Amino acid sequence: MIKISQPKAKTGSPGEWPVPPLPLTEYGENAQVHLASGQKEFENMSAACAQFGVILEGMARMLDFGCSNGRVTRWFPAAKSEVWGSDVQMDKVLWAQENLGPPLRFLVNGTEAHLPFPDGYFDYIAAQSVFTHVVGSHLAWMLELCRVLSRNGVLFLTLHDEATLDPQRTPRAQKLLSTHFKGIQEIAPDLKQVGFLAMNPYTRVADLAQVYMSKEYLMRALPPWMNLLGSVERAYSDLQTAYILRKQF
């Protein structure tokens, strides 16, 4: 049985809103870490966008794709924007819907690459630590996000790319290479020759694994009318590279 209370508009700052119980957290973090890490990731995202003239305050409609329990979504400027969060993890999304909305809005998306929004609905879409895990449907989901992005809208996504797995550029790279990407040196001794690589698949969730994607592969995968404004290394979790793209029409 699923029971959701009648929603009541949240007051106060996002840091004062409810925090998910331990089973619904993303990393088993306590309340303090949950709030602080979510705020930091939002601030890092905002700062990365600002480097290329993209200011999140004042965006009419925003989507946090792959929002989980709303750890980062809660910090989006919902007072001035229509903010949505979307994720495949039903239990976490329903918790967020009940406890963080309104003003935030949430939906459970399926595994198929479809979102229930018209063409060009969002001015800004964030996909943080999403395409670091999606395998077979990654191209379809990228195109779907482009579809619901407005003209001149901005797509912010993060990847495990060349910089992420280079210990000289990313201090935490060695930990990734010895855990999530253990064995990658044998599979791909010259990573510069690899565009996309998925390994160590999730045992309980289909179509998810640890994914490497190069900048060149990303730009070939996206439609030609998606213009790369720039990229920022170590923009998410001090690991993943952020790519900031603008839809040209």
pLDDT at residue 124, rounded to an integer = 98
CB 63 within 8 Å of CB 125: yes
Whether 20 is in a domain gets the answer: no
Whether 15 is in a domain gets the answer: no
**Count of domains forming the chain:** 1
Query: 128: closest CA among 11, 243, 5, 9?
Result: 243
pLDDT at residue 145, rounded to an integer = 98
pTM metric for this prediction: 0.96
Q: If you average pLDDT over every residue of the chain, what do you get?
A: 95
CA distance 21 to 19: 7
Domain extent at residue 239: 27-247
Whether 54 is in a domain gets the answer: yes
User: Could you give the C-alpha distances from 87 to 59, 75, 179, in angstroms and in order?
Assistant: 21, 17, 25
Question: What element of type H or E holds 1?
Answer: none
CB 159 within 8 Å of CB 138: no
Q: Given pLDDT bands bounded at 50, 70 and 90, which one contains residue 129?
A: very high
Nearest-5° angle of CA 3, CA 67, CA 153? 130
Query: 148: closest CA among 119, 123, 107?
Result: 119
Whether 21 is in a domain gets the answer: no
CA distance 235 to 242: 6
CA distance 219 to 228: 8
Domain containing 63 — which CATH number? 3.40.50.150
Say whether pLDDT at 138 is over 80.
yes
Whether 107 is in a domain gets the answer: yes
Give the pLDDT mean for 83-99: 96
CB 212 within 8 Å of CB 196: yes
pLDDT tens for 182-231 read 999 899 999 989 999 999 998 777 789 999 999 999 999 999 999 999 99
Whether 66 is in a domain gets the answer: yes
Whether 59 is in a domain gets the answer: yes
Whether 136 is in a domain gets the answer: yes
